Amino acid sequence: MSTNRKIELITSKENECIKRLKKLHDKKHREELKAFLVEGVKAVKEALDYAIEDINLLIFSQEASKKYEEFFSRCISLLNSGKLKRIVQVPEKIFEHISTTTTPQGVLAECSFFDKELDVLKKHNRVVVIDSVQDPGNLGTIIRCADAFGFECVITVNGTVDVYNPKVVRSAMGSMFHVDVVREKKKEELVGTLKKRGFALYVTTPYGDVDISKLSIDDRFAIVIGNESRGVDVAFLENATKKVKISMPGKAESLNSAVAAAIVLYELRKK
């Protein structure tokens, strides 16, 4: 087939490309190479649709190129038209070696970092700030909810799990390509910028005085989601416009932290 002439086949773990992909499992190397991995058909499709210029490389296992034939053909067209830089095929064994999951689908992309700086705030009105969330699944779920409920920007604070961690990317299910991501900012700088730009600052705390369902929502606001056990840092609490809580009429004293975040974002959704 003349159309796929540019697809490379790599069969050795010692190949530089494979070694590089394996390195991207670790934050240290991601920071060094300014690149990360996106795995799974759904997430890679979102990357193609929303961030094709950030994709350095697509990897298909040989089985996956057959199983997802239509998707594979589309990628070949994008390669031939010059929109996609590079496609590599690998045997299953090599794919398992570079995969970030235990049950790989056989589709993976290497993307360049695409996080933004705080100046993107000037064009946004609905922002989620994530303060020290530790569990990658929780962070991914929060990014997915932020997207679903019409937020435009997600900002992580220093001490939060890396947004480019493969588990975060996986549980975000492509949503990180739909919002502007700003990462690992200092609390003080962030609070200052938000204030200067006229954002109302909402924080979630079990000791909040406003029931989230009764909050009158400002046109421009940032909602702060805190750490799973410690909650939101004092730097945000002290500068909060409103301290909000979720009313719980039953006997449970608390909610799972990802669930609590999801409900808060749901209540603040774009209407």
The 221-225 sheet, strands edge to edge? 180-185, 153-157, 126-130, 221-225, 200-204, 242-245, 210-211
Q: Does 250 bind its own copies (CB under 8 A)?
A: yes
- Our measurement of the distance from residue 40's CA atom to the centroid of its chain's CA atoms, rounded to an integer in Å, reads 14
Residues 107-146 that bind its own copies (CB under 8 A): 141, 144-146
Size of the site for its own copies (CB under 8 A): 32
217 binds its own copies per the rule CB under 8 A: no
Verify binding: residue 262, its own copies, rule CB under 8 A.
yes
Cα separations (Å) of 166 from 58, 170, 197, 223?
16, 6, 33, 25
> Looking at 81, 207, 229, 249, which residue binds its own copies (CB under 8 A)?
249
Of 7 and 139, CB closest to its own copies: 139
User: Within positions 149 to 178, which residues make up the interface with its own copies, using CB under 8 A?
Assistant: 149-151, 171, 173-175, 178
Residue with smaller CB distance to its own copies, 30 or 40: 40
Should residue 266 be labelled a site residue for its own copies when binding is judged by CB under 8 A?
yes
Site residues, its own copies (CB under 8 A)? 141, 144-151, 171, 173-175, 178, 246-252, 254-256, 258-259, 262-263, 266, 269-271
